[in-house]
Structure 1
Amino acid sequence: MRFKDRIAIVTGAGQGIGEAYAKSLAAEGARVAVADLNSEQADRVAKEVESSGGTALSVKVDVADPASTHTMAESVTSAWGGIDLLVNNAAIYGGMRTEPLLTVDLDYYYRFLSVNLNGALHCARACYPSMAERGGGAIVNQSSTAAWMAGGYYSIAKAALNALTVNLAAELGGSNIRVNAIAPGPTDTAATRSVVPEPFLEPLVNSLMIKRLGTPDDHVGALLFLLSDAAAWVTGQILATDGGQIVRC
């Protein structure tokens, strides 16, 4: 029960890795706001948390809209008194377009960056005052190993998110708020299977040191560590949970 009496927000928690994050935090005692643009999915996850003995709140949010993220933070603060932990997991991924930078529709490109990059900043800006008022907290951003690859605008957003993580860590350290990121490798989710064609999966797995796709639960341990007091002197770091896909010496 590392997070007993802690209040957490997980964005994009209606499915996939975000759902696993929300449920794992609730299982360790946190009160968890399941925040998602898809309110039906958020409701489902929150109800499953409650049925397992945890405490959860479903919140609809569009992280690309600063006003929506402030409403999210206000809803959680009103319900539970504050915010201690923030997981910026929301992103456009499942079903995303994979088009060249030189020809992708610019309105789509700008919306993509508004969600996948700026969304984390919007949520941090909305939540950090409560964290600071409560003496500190922790933020984890969801990056990707794509940040170190040539993967078009998805890679650009994740590489920029890594830089955002470092800069927020520097700005918020004085308020005792730590900011880190997790960079998952290829993970077996419905979203991944909608993006990666089936014939590409076998060679992708063979390129990994650990010869299998990850699962959402493979990333949970890293999340819980980075949010916990065990990581009290860890900030501004990008932790890859990727089966050995990326090696940085």
Structure 2
Amino acid sequence: MSFNDKVVVITGAGQGIGEGYAKRCATEGMKVVVAELNSEQGERVVAEIREQGGDALFVRTDVGDEQSCIACANAAKEAFGQIDYLINNAAIFGNMKIEGYMNVDMDYLETFMRVNVHGSLLMARACVPHMPKGSAIVNQSSTAAWMNMGFYGVAKLALNGLTCSLARELGWRKIRINAIAPGPTETQALRNTAGDYADELVKQMPLSRLGTPDDMADAALFLLSEQASWITGHILNVDGGQFMRV
């Protein structure tokens, strides 16, 4: 897979799986736009990529804000000429509220859904005008989409639907869009949200270990690559067999 001089925009790339995506893409020769709300974390990732000889740009981005998404895409275009790939990783997850639909604050829920679902749409709408034929998008779903796990699961299920709908809309542009559905993955966000329960989940899985950001990066690179040139509208589980769909 050759990615030399390709340009990728990665949201939520200041930590966790998103940081793993950013550093791996840089290692593969891509120019990386770190689209991150947390300026300190985003600038740190860019600095570490540059220290390793990579080319990266930080753009403070709120994926729940349409104008912020447009500004990010414009900054990527101005810096690197075009956008070849978009990885929609940003989401509210670490430290999210653990509440049921019957008692969650509606303002919080609306903000949650705007970031976790519409954020991917807003970034796609902002980036696609700068993406040539043969470009690709990867959305970050979750196995929670099929587990009836409250509003987090519903958001990921909606994201799966969005992925498939956009695959139809973008096909004529020769832009592919797929999603990765990670199982429990070793990040600080997982520990903040699930705590020791993550270790209990592992015991129930055929491949009984937590995933790693590298596991997700392997899958993302495949979906972005020409090796996946006839794959679009697909949700790829990367989950150690946690959830099997027939």
Q: TM-score, normalised by structure 2?
A: 0.98
Number of the residue aligned with 1:222: 219
- TM-superposed CA distance for 1:135, in Å, is 2.5
Question: Equivalents in 2 of 1:44, 1:60: separation in Å?
Answer: 12
Number of the residue aligned with 1:86: 86
List gaps (5 residues or longer) in structure 2. none
- TM-superposed CA distance for 1:201, in Å, is 3.0
| Identical-residue share of aligned pairs (%) | 54
Number of the residue aligned with 1:34: 34
- TM-superposed CA distance for 1:218, in Å, is 1.2
Question: Equivalents in 1 of 2:198, 2:33: separation in Å?
Answer: 33
RMSD: 0.8
Number of the residue aligned with 1:147: 145
Aligned residue pairs total 246
Question: Equivalents in 1 of 2:53, 2:235: separation in Å?
Answer: 32
- Are the counterparts in 1 of residues 8 and 31 from structure 2 also a CA contact under 8 Å? yes
Question: Equivalents in 1 of 2:46, 2:168: separation in Å?
Answer: 33
SS of 1:117's partner is helix
- Residue 209 of structure 1, aligned match among 173, 186, 206: 206
Tell whether 2:105 aligns with 1:105: yes
* Residue identity opposite 2:85 in structure 1: L
Tell whether 2:159 aligns with 1:161: yes
Superposed counterparts of 1:55-74, under 5 Å: 55-74=55-74
Question: Equivalents in 1 of 2:92, 2:156: separation in Å?
Answer: 11
Superposed counterparts of 1:13-52, under 5 Å: 13-52=13-52
List gaps (5 residues or longer) in structure 1. none
SS of 1:97's partner is coil
Cα deviations across residues 22-61 of structure 1 (Å, max 9, x unaligned)? 1111111110001100011010001111111110001100
**Runs of 4 or more above 4 Å deviation:** none
- Are the counterparts in 1 of residues 184 and 198 from structure 2 also a CA contact under 8 Å? no
- TM-superposed CA distance for 1:215, in Å, is 1.2
Number of the residue aligned with 2:172: 174
